[in-house]
Structure formats: C-alpha cells, structure tokens
Chain A
Amino acid sequence: MENKHMGTEVEAAAHPLAETARMFIKNKAAVLGLIVLFVIILIAIFGPIFYTTDPEDMVWMAYSPPGEEGFLFGTDYLGRDLLAQMMQGARVSILVGLSAAFMTVFIGITVGALAGFYQGIVEEILMRITEFFQVLPTLLFSMVIVALFGASLPMITIAIGAVSWTAVARITRAEFMRIRSLEYVAAARAIGAKNNRLMFRVILPNALPPIIVQAALMVGSAILFEAGLSFLNLSDPNIISWGRIIGDNRVNILDSSFAVTIPGIAIFITVLAISLVGDGLNDAFNPKLRGR
C-alpha cells in the first residue's frame, strides 16, 4: 500500500477483514459453493412451507419412479413423496451439521485456548484428554453413545461433537501458542489487561481464521456423519434425514436406485459446496499459501 497518510486526504479505514472478503469473492469455485449452499438452505427453510405434501403420508404406491404421477422425485418404499422427504431431510441434515459444528467449535476453542494460553500442567492434562478422544475410533464411539443414550437428534449431535472437537482444539492451541508470544499480547499485558481479556479479546480474534475454516469443513463432515449413523439405523426413526432415506431404501437399491441416488446426490452437493466455501475461506485468510 502506498504511503498516502502524509497528504491532506484522509484515507478510508480498511478493516483487515475487507481484504479477506475481496480475496474470497475472487475465488469462483468458492462463490459458486456459497450460492449452492444458499439455495439449499433456502429450499430447506421455505420448501416445506410451499410444498405442503406431508413427507410421512403414504400418498401413492411404493417406488414410483421420478416424474410419474406428479411426483418429481418419485416415492419411497412406503409410497411416501420423496420430494417432500428430501426437503424435510434437508432441514434435519443442515440443522445437525450446524449444531454439531457449533458444539465442536465451542468445546475445541475452550480446550485449545486454555491449553495454549496457560501451558504447563493445564496444557499437559488437556492435551492428554484430547489425545484420548483422538485415538478413539470415531464411528464406533459415536455409535456407542447413540446406542447407550438413545437415538434422539440432540444425542446424535452430541455424539458427532464429542468425536470431532479434537481437531479444533489442536488448531486453537497451536494458534494461541503462536500468538501469545507476539508483542501485542505482551503490550496488552503491559497496559493492564487481565488473562480473560488477553485470551478472548486479544488472542482469540487473531486466532479465528483457521478455526473458521475448520468449522466450515466441520459442518460438511457432520452432515456426512449424521448420514452414516442414519444409514446404520442409529437415528431417531421418527425423523427424516437424507441418511435415513438412503438407509430405509437401501434394500431395493438395485430395482429402485433413484430412491438412494437422489438423497446421495443431495449430500454430495451440499458437502462439496461446504468444502468449496471452506477452501475459499482458507485461501482468503492466507493469500500467501495460495497454490500450495
């Protein structure tokens, strides 16, 4: 940036994030991902309002192919409208994805921040706990949680959160360790900032970029995870999700592949869009790492 401040003209304040936003917009794939994601979310929110067919109702014969009898996606093994089910399932999948990611970030930041800031014995204990969770086989562990405490939606969210917060904790800790040795943290201490302020007001905002990227990707993997659990019948049988639709119809995958393909494609597109957005955020936060 050229040196304009000596002139009489007052330069506009450029927020550090403005540059990031500019970089993100330049990334076509990421913008496409964002648009796709936006459309999916709109459909999840408004679809069931405008398309009022009850996804639980048996409206026609089973496995009517897509397009016939006015059913855009056809019907499932019980003769329920697949389009209505898909829109209902989108709500559940996205809700689980977001809340599991939120939980992941919350636990991860708390553990990582405490470990990275205090170091010493606190770090030692917290990181051993993190490692304990890291070595657990994730799918097996979440299956155990769901099997033990029941397959309700909150429990599935907790199960997903419990197995995936470790990555966020490690990233947060690494960022805290890097930033806490920078001079502006010492400067904040020198002007009388307390530990809480240092942690959450000074260090955390500067540690956020990689955490945000990780959180975005976490939404995608949580959706996949939920689909996996539902596919294995480890979800609330009364709640329709994309994974559940695949799981319910998988018996007839050879005769009526559309009933598994359609939710499969929906999961694929959603997770891909999330990954593109996460990737775009990563590049936008770290322009120097581009092309790696």
Chain B
Amino acid sequence: MSQSKAPILSVEGLSVSFPMPRSGIFGERQYLKAVRDISFDVPAGKTLGIVGESGSGKTTAAMATIRLTEAQAGVVEFNGTDLFKLSSEEMRQQRQHMQVIFQDPYSSLNPRDRVGAIVREPLDLMNVGDPKGRDARVAELFELVGLRPDQMALFPHQFSGGQRQRISIARALATNPALIVCDEPVSALDVAIQAQILNLLRKLQEELGLSYLFISHDLGVVQFICDEIAVMYLGEIVEQASRMDLFSKPQHPYTKALLETAPSLARRKSAGYRREALVEGDPPSPLNIPKGCAFAGRCPKATEKCLNERPELTFDGNRSVACHFPND
C-alpha cells in the first residue's frame, strides 16, 4: 500500500472458478472457487508477495491477472490498460511488458530447443529489433543472469536446476518487461541455490527497476524479497501489510499461525524442541465454501459470529485484515 508511487498493476475484485465435471449427464455442475473477489496493487519497482498454503489460490490469482488462466470477474489494470478488455491479439502484444518465471525449472523449458533459442524466442515473437540485434541481446542476457554466452547452443537437460532457472529469468527479461510474475521461482531448488537466485532477482530489480508479483509458500523467501505481503487463505486475501508490519505484528490468526509454524533453525537447535501445531486440520473445500469466515473451522478463537458472518478485508490506514477480532 505504498501510496508514494502509482501501482504498475492494480487488481480489483478478481474471481476465478473452474467448472468441475458433471456427476452425470443431468447432474448439476459444481464450480471450484479458486480465487474469490481479491484486490491488490503491485507498486512500481517494488515486490508484492502472495503467500499461502497449497491450494490457497495464489498461483491461480497470479496467472489470472496476466490472463494465462481465465478469470470470471474482476478488473486488472496494467500500466493503465484494462487487460481483461483487450482482444487476444492486443493482449499478446502486451505480453512483452509482463513476463513469468515458473516454479519448476525442469518443465518450464522446452526440452527440444537450444537454450539460446529459448531466450531469443520472446524477441522473435514480439518482433523486437533486427535479427543481429537479437543475437547480441541474447548474449547480453546470458551475461546478465550469470551464464556464459558460449552455453547458448546447449539443451536444457545439460543444465542444473539453478542454471535452468537463470535461463528462465533470462527469457523473462528478454523483452524488457516492467512486471515479472515469479511463481514460486525457488521452491524447487536447493537452499544454497535459492539464495543465489533470490540475490539475482533482487539485483535485477535494482538495476532494471522491475516490479515483481512474487508467489511463495516460504515465509523466509518472502521476508527476504518482498516489500509488501498479501496472505491468501482459501481464495481470499486475509491480511495484507508491509513486510515489517506483517512479520512483527501479524493481526490475522492465520498469519500468526503461519509465522509460528514456519520452521526456524534457531529454535530447532534447542534440545527437546517440538514445533507447536497451531493450526490443525485442512482448509475447507473450495467446492463448498463456508458462509462465515473461511478460517473459522481451524481458528483457535472463533466465535458464533465468525461462523455466520464473513469478515470483510478492512484497511486501517496501515494494513488490511479480514477478521472480526484482529487484535485479541
């Protein structure tokens, strides 16, 4: 919520649901509500993190904002352009300004293409510059992400996971995008490699003024790279605050539970340490959303009100929380 700069990406009331197969020919079609009416801004040159457990809809939300998944409702303004109103060709043209780094470095690169061609492909598709300039740009990108240009002729299977993720980053940077969606870019990597990639992402942000929409379930990663953090639970944002505020003074019981249960090496070292399980059980099914607070079933301090009334996400001038009793 940094009001200082205009947001590069502004999402309003985004909802995504997936039709489930019918139970019979005449059966009623159920819808899986993956993302329910969420709104957020990505400030220019900053990083917004979206955290949540598996199935909370964080990846779906991010993919829907850049129209890689179809959204049912919502307005997404990117640099002042309403993305959902664009024709598919106009959207295709816009894609050079927004790019994605995917989670799995082993499946995000086409195994049949040489990595040089993979990095060059966005330039070819978007018709950026002349062929000679593109070759030079690819070499430049390889240097930028810490690979050697003479590796361009190799195939993806000849690289390690970390190197593949660097190739992914080079591809994402090729067309000089303003926004990069990072979909758990380090969760498939070794911890040592994670740090390298995160440092690279941060360095690139400083050098190129990139904005990141950063999806992760790893709070340590989020704390390292994000300026602003939104916590998602069952398709909704339950709390959004700056990194400082969120980590020092979490308000929503789910955020608190997440922070408490995050594994900490310091604590684990002490003898006899057992991690407390603050939240038990699983989130409710997104096919059958409870009418009250979605977290009420697992919340230690849920009341009658929580079960019946859905808390709205309210902004108190500093942060947003969706809880009836945030400060107890």
Contacts and interface: CB of A to CB of B under 8 A. Distances in A.
Contact of B68 (A11, A190, A194): A190
B125 A192 contact: yes
A187 B171 contact: yes
Contacts of A193: 121, 125
B106 to A, nearest CB: 9
Contact of A184 (B110, B153, B163, B174): B110
A191 B158 contact: no
Given A184-B108, A202-B110, A192 B92 contact: yes
B68 A186 contact: yes
B114 interface: yes
Contacts of B126: 191-192
Contacts of A184: 107-111
B227 to A, nearest CB: 24
Interface stretch (B22-30, B96-104, B249-257, B307-315): B96-104
A194 B87 CA distance: 13
B100 A187 contact: yes
Contact of B151 (A1, A5, A187, A190): A5
Interface in A198-237: 202, 205-206
Contact of A3 (B109, B111, B112, B160): B160
A202 B110 CA distance: 7
Given A10-B150, A11-B158, A191 B95 contact: yes
Contacts of A13: 114, 153-155, 158
Nearest to A191: B122
A182 B108 CA distance: 7
B109 A14 contact: no
B267 interface: no
A5 B158 contact: yes
Contacts of A5: 148, 151, 154, 158-160, 163
Contact of A183 (B93, B102, B150): B102
A128 interface: no
Interface in A7-21: 10-11, 13-16
Nearest to B125: A192
Interface string B124-167: 01100000000000000000000010110111011110010000
A188 interface: yes
B222 to A, nearest CB: 21
Contacts of A16: 111-112, 155, 157
A189 interface: yes
B112 to A, nearest CB: 5
B182 to A, nearest CB: 12
A187 B121 CA distance: 11
B66 interface: yes
A54 B121 CA distance: 57
Contact of A182 (B68, B107, B174, B175): B107
Nearest to A19: B157
Interface residues of B, number: 38
Contacts, number: 86
A189 B102 CA distance: 12
A186 B159 contact: no
Nearest to A206: B112
Interface string B253-285: 000000000000000000000000000000000
B122 A183 contact: no
B120 to A, nearest CB: 10
Contacts of B107: 182-184
Nearest to A4: B158
Interface string A107-123: 00000000000000000
A184 B106 CA distance: 9
A38 B282 CA distance: 62
Contacts of B103: 183
Interface in A41-88: none
Contacts of A187: 100, 102, 108-110, 168, 171
A11 B155 contact: no
Contacts of A205: 112
A16 to B, nearest CB: 6
Given A183-B102, A183-B108, A191 B155 contact: no
A13 B154 CA distance: 4
B99 A191 contact: yes
A1 B122 CA distance: 29
B35 to A, nearest CB: 17
B112 A11 contact: no
B279 to A, nearest CB: 30
Nearest to A1: B158
B100 A192 contact: no
A192 B96 CA distance: 7
B89 to A, nearest CB: 9
Given A1-B158, A11-B158, A192-B92, A186 B100 contact: yes
Given A13-B153, A186-B68, A205-B112, A191 B121 contact: yes
6 contacts: A5-B148, A11-B151, A186-B108, A188-B110, A192-B125, A197-B125
Interface of B: 63, 66, 68, 92-93, 95-96, 99-100, 102-104, 107-112, 114, 121-122, 125-126, 148, 150-151, 153-155, 157-160, 163, 168, 171, 174-175
Given A1-B158, A15-B155, A183-B104, 16 more contacts: A5-B148, A5-B159, A5-B163, A13-B153, A13-B155, A14-B154, A184-B110, A184-B111, A186-B68, A187-B108, A188-B121, A189-B68, A191-B96, A192-B125, A205-B112, A206-B111
